[in-house]
Amino acid sequence: MKLVAILGSKGGTGKTTLAHTLSYGATLAGYPTTLVHTDQRPPVKGSRPYDYVDCSRNYAQITKLIKDRADDEGYLVIDGAGNRPHLDLWLTGSMDLVLVPVTNSAEDVRCALQDLARFDDPRVRVIINRWPANRLVRMVMQRYVNELPDSRVAGLLPEVGGVRVFLEDQDWETPSTKVNNQARRLFRLVENNLNTVAELPPFDKSAGVTRVSVP
């Protein structure tokens, strides 16, 4: 099973949205997928085409899921929520890939650079989220993006208004073509990044990261 966490110290960057988008993309690609909710706020209500597990009150459940499903095919996607450095550090040490979203703000880039320094491992990568369609807005965002080290940028995802459906408390309905394409795009991006990090040695635990202890 592939383990992917979407996290970061900055709020509102799209962690939850991307966790759902990726889970849906993996489902469309035919993989059994579980999305793990860790936020203290309640999970989104309503059915989803992937498993959706609330581990916000019991992080040990995440360890159990990882252990129980280690040999399964498919994806475990973790919505890391915001501002929980200890949980993020613990999750980071257990993942195959960690994505830290950045949107169009200097503050997002500043926080992401701090996160990259904190989790100094090539498996932790920034994903540029909400890449604007408008050329002038894109020029502004490009200036921020230029501050990020190329080797730690996973790729970019466009702004797609329809992705709000992922966070709505309602039963699942097939989303618009744009949302489906976004989900497929994010899944491909994740697969490509997983391929490039596949040969790396395990996380350097001397950096204070442990794979098994629960915060």
Ligand X SMILES: Nc1ncnc2c1ncn2[C@@H]1O[C@H](COP(=O)(O)OP(=O)(O)OP(=O)(O)O)[C@@H](O)[C@H]1O
Binding interface with ligand X (CB under 6 A): 11-17, 39, 81-82, 129-130, 157, 159-161, 163-164, 167
CA gap 16, 107 in Å, rounded:
19
Is position 9 an interface residue for Mg ion (rule: CB under 5 A)? no
Residue 159: Cβ within 10 Å count: 17
Backbone φ and ψ for 102, nearest 5 degrees, come out as: -130, 130
Q: Which stretch binds Mg ion (CB under 5 A): 15-23, 58-66, 100-108, 179-187?
A: 15-23
CA gap 6, 22 in Å, rounded:
10
CA gap 186, 20 in Å, rounded:
10
- Least CB distance to ligand X at residue 154 (A): 14
Is position 103 an interface residue for Mg ion (rule: CB under 5 A)? no
CA gap 116, 124 in Å, rounded:
7
Is position 16 an interface residue for Mg ion (rule: CB under 5 A)? yes
- Least CB distance to ligand X at residue 82 (A): 3
| Residue (51 or 159) nearer to ligand X, CB | 159
The site partner of 92 among Mg ion, ligand X, none (C-beta below 5 to 8 Å per kind) is none
User: DSSP code of 213?
Assistant: -
- Least CB distance to ligand X at residue 158 (A): 6
- Least CB distance to ligand X at residue 131 (A): 8
Is position 17 an interface residue for Mg ion (rule: CB under 5 A)? no
| Residue (129 or 203) nearer to Mg ion, CB | 129
Q: Within a 13 Å sphere around the CA of 129, how many CA atoms are in the beta-carbon half? A: 28
- Least CB distance to ligand X at residue 69 (A): 24
- Which pairs with CB-CB distance under 8 Å and at least 24 residues apart come from 84-89? 84/38, 85/9, 85/118, 86/215, 87/38, 87/59, 87/215, 88/7, 88/8, 88/9, 88/115, 88/119, 89/118, 89/119, 89/208, 89/209
Q: Which stretch binds Mg ion (CB under 5 A): 16-24, 113-121, 146-154, 188-196?
A: 16-24
| Residue (43 or 93) nearer to ligand X, CB | 43
Query: What's the CA dihedral at 101, 106, 107, 112 to 10 degrees?
Result: 40
| Residue (76 or 81) nearer to ligand X, CB | 81
Q: Which residue from 50, 79, 55 is spatially nearest to 65, judged by alpha carbons?
A: 55
| Residue (32 or 158) nearer to ligand X, CB | 158
- Least CB distance to Mg ion at residue 72 (A): 26
Residues that bind Mg ion (CB under 5 A): 15-16
